[in-house]
Amino acid sequence: MKTTTRFAPSPTGYLHIWSLRTVLYNYLFAKKNDGKFMLRIEDTDRTRLVEWSVENMLGVLAEVWLIPDEGPNNPGELGPYYQSERLDIYKKYVDQLLEQDKAYRCFCTSEELDQMRKEQEELGLPTKYDWRHRYLSPEEIKEKLDAGIAHTVRLKVPKNIEVTFEDSVKGKITVASKDIDDQVLLKTDGFPTYHMAALVDDHLMGVTHVIRGDEWIPSTPKHILLHEALGWEPPVYSHLPLLLGTDKKKLSKRTGDVAVENYLEKWYLNEALINYISLLGWNPKTTEEFFTLEELIDRFDISHVHKAGAVFDVERLNFFNAKYLKELSIDQLFSKFKLYLSRYDHEFLSIVENQNEIYVKKILEELSTRIQYFAQVKELTTFFFEEPNIPSEDILVNQKMKIEDINMVKKSLQVSLDILNSNDNLESIDNIKSAYIEWIKSAWMKNGQVLWPTRAVLSGEQFSPWALEMIYILGKQKSIQRIQNALDKIK
C-alpha cells in the first residue's frame, strides 16, 4: 500500500507553530517513503468555525513550500476534503454500527450530562458516561424516537479488555477498556464527532500513518476500538512531543507569537523557518544543524523523534534566519526585501523605490551581517531615507572618546568636513578610511574624537553603523550636507 499521511486541521484560526511542525513531519515522512501527503479540513464543529482560516492556512503552507499532493486547493480522486461535505458517508457507517449492536443511541440532555459529571466529581470518580442508555430496549428506543427526542450515537466500548497499540515515537501503549468512555460518534445536529469522521476519512482515503501531537494519545485507544468495530486495520500512529516555551511550559497563544503568519510578516526566510522547526523534537543523528528541505526529506526518520517536549526559542530561530540571510548575494537580498515590502509594507516600499537601487543595495549589504529578519530593516535604516535630527549634546559629547565639550564637537565636525571636501576618491570604505586616518593623525587628534560626532550627526541616533560605513552609503555630497547642517545648527 502506498504510504499516505495527512494533516487534518479544524479551521478555527491561524496556523500555529506546533501545527506547522506536524505538517512538516507528515510531509517529510511521506516524501521520504515515496508516498502522498494529503490535506483535509475537519469542519464538523460548526461553533468554532472561522471562515478565513482555510484560506490563511493554504497560503501559509504554499509560502513555506509544504504543498499537499491532494487537498482542497489541488483535488484528486479522494475528495471531497471538507468533512461537512461528507455527512452521508459518516451516517452510513454510524448506521452500520447501530445495526451490528456496536453502537447505541443516547437520549441524555446536556443538563443530565452536566449533572452526571458533577456527581462523579463530588465522589472523586473519573468523569465518563454512566451507560444509562446503553441498555435501552428496542421498545424504549422507538418510543423516544417517535417522541422526537434528540439523541447522539455512542460507541459500545467492550468491557474488561486491554487496548494495546505500538506508537512509533512513544513505544507500546496499553489502556484498560474500563478507562475508555463510550465516545459520541454522531452529535444531535447530525454532524459526526472528530473521532468518527477522522477515522472514516483515514480509512477511505488510504491513510497509512497518522502523525499528530501527543495530546491525541488518550483518544487513540478509542480509535483502535472503533477500527475494530468497523472491521478495519488501524494506521500506524506516531505522537509528537509537546512544543514548550522558553519557560518550559506548553507553548500557547498566551506565550507570545505562535501564529506562523506573524513570522512570515516579519519575513523569516522559508529555509530558516523550516530548518529550525524540523529540529524541534527530531534528532538528525549528526552535529550538523543546517539542512535544505531536500536534505531533510533524505534524513528524516520518525523513530528519531524525541519523547520529551522541545523548546521553541525565538532567539534560536533568529540565529538560523541570520545565517541564511548572510548567505544571500546582495542581488538575492534586494529581491527578497522588495518582495517582502510589496506584501507587508507598501508605504516603505514606495520610499525605497524612490531611491537609487545601488544606494539601497549598499544599505542592505551593511545590514546583512546584523539583521535577523527583514522587519528589522525599517527600524534600523530610518536615517538613510529621511533627514535626521541633530543629536542632543549628551550624545555628541563623549568623555571616553576624549570629546569633552560642544566646542570639541564642532572642531571634530569641521575636521570631518575638511576631509570630505578635500578628497574626491571616496568610492570605497578603504579609501574613506585611508583619507580619515591620515588627516586625523596629521591634526594630532584621536580617531574616535572625529568619528564619533561624525557618525552621530550623519544618523541622528545614539546607535547606528559606524561613521565610515555611513559615509560610504550616504555618499560624499549627502554626508557633507548633513555635517554642515549640524555645524550650522550647533553654532
Could you list the active site residues?
Answer: 253
212-225 in b/e form (b: 16+ CB < 10 A) is: bebeebeebbbbbb
Cα gap 197→218, rounded to integer Å: 17
For residue 312, what is its C-alpha cell? 521553541
Least Cα distance to 290 among 312, 269, 263 occurs for 269
CA distance 448 to 446: 5
Nearest to 59, CA basis, from 47, 77, 73: 73
Residue appearing with cell numbers 541616533: 461
Given a contact cutoff of 8 angstroms between Cβ atoms, the answer to whether 345 and 278 are in contact is no
Q: Which of 274, 310, 269, 267 is nearest to 292 (CA)?
A: 274
Q: Nine-digit cell at 476?
A: 560624499
For residues 224 and 237, give the distance between their C-alpha atoms in angstroms, rounded to a whole number. Answer: 10
Q: How many helices (DSSP H) and strands (DSSP E) are in the chain?
A: 22, 11
Contacts of 412 by beta carbon, 8 Å cutoff, 6+ apart: 403, 445, 449, 450, 452, 453, 454
CB 47 within 8 A of CB 27: no
Separation CA 345–CA 332 (nearest Å): 19
**Whose grid coordinates read 458516561?**
129
Helix, strand and coil content of the chain, in percent to the nearest 5, comes to: 55, 10, 35
Both ends of the chain: CA-CA distance in Å?
83
Residue ranges of the alpha helices (H) in 107-234?
Answer: 110-122, 138-146, 194-204, 220-230
d(CA 445, CA 448): 9
CA angle 463, 468, 470 (to 5 degrees): 55
List alpha helices for 159-257, DSSP H.
194-204, 220-230
Q: Is the bond into 80 cis (omega within 30 degrees of 0)?
A: yes
Angle formed at CA 268 by CA 352 and CA 363, multiple of 5 degrees: 30
